[in-house]
Amino acid sequence: MKEPFENVVARHGATVLRVCRVLLGPHDADDAWSETFLSALRAYPDLPETANVEAWLVTIAHRKAIDVLRVAKRNPLPVGEVPETPAGGDLPGSADADLWAAVKALPAKQRQAIAYRYVAGLPYAEIAQILGGTVEAARRAAADGLKNLRKNHPGAITRGASS
């Protein structure tokens, strides 16, 4: 039985927003989130009942984030790309701002792999499908991304590195 779409928004809205923030930074994440859920609502009645709803949403978000970036590239804003204080105000502290800058500096594929693995918690098999490569490539992209983040943002990520 297909549950009301509102339940899907309630259960996955926050995770999808975090994924969008990692993909695009806090500024453009709202647009990607809105596009994702509008698209999902349209397609929802045709989604098989056995589908992994979160993986489905992340797949849509992946495409929408690419669209948002494409539009941004075509119409570059005069403003700096990384806002000093992110919109929403729930990412406080300069350490976080550093992290977001480091995330933003990652190559797209690494940033995506990190978002889908560490924010959405998807298995690499799902991530490989979204990124369109092998499972091994997805795993490597996440590992490389992590390595780069550690290198460029050593302050916040020490425990994981030393254990």
Provide, rounded to whole angstroms, the least separation between the CB of residue 78 and other proteins: 25
Choose between 34 and 134: whose C-beta lies nearer to other proteins. 34
- Cα separation, 153 vs 38, in Å, equals 35
Q: Which residues bind other proteins (CB under 8 A)?
A: 1-6, 9, 13-14, 17-18, 22, 30, 33-34, 37-38, 41-42, 44-45, 88-91, 96, 99, 103, 114-115, 117-119, 121, 142-143, 146, 149, 156-160, 163
* DSSP conformation letters of the chain: -PPPHHHHHHHHHHHHHHHHHHHH-HHHHHHHHHHHHHHHHHHGGGS-TTS-HHHHHHHHHHHHHHHHHHHHHHS--SS-SS-SS-TTS-S-SHHHHHHHHHHHHS-HHHHHHHIIIIIS---HHHHHHHHTS-HHHHHHHHHHHHHHHHHH-TTT--HHHH-
Choose between 30 and 133: whose C-beta lies nearer to other proteins. 30
Choose between 75 and 162: whose C-beta lies nearer to other proteins. 162
Provide, rounded to whole angstroms, the least separation between the CB of residue 79 and other proteins: 21
Provide, rounded to whole angstroms, the least separation between the CB of residue 52 and other proteins: 17
Choose between 23 and 73: whose C-beta lies nearer to other proteins. 23
Provide, rounded to whole angstroms, the least separation between the CB of residue 1 and other proteins: 6
Provide, rounded to whole angstroms, the least separation between the CB of residue 80 and other proteins: 21
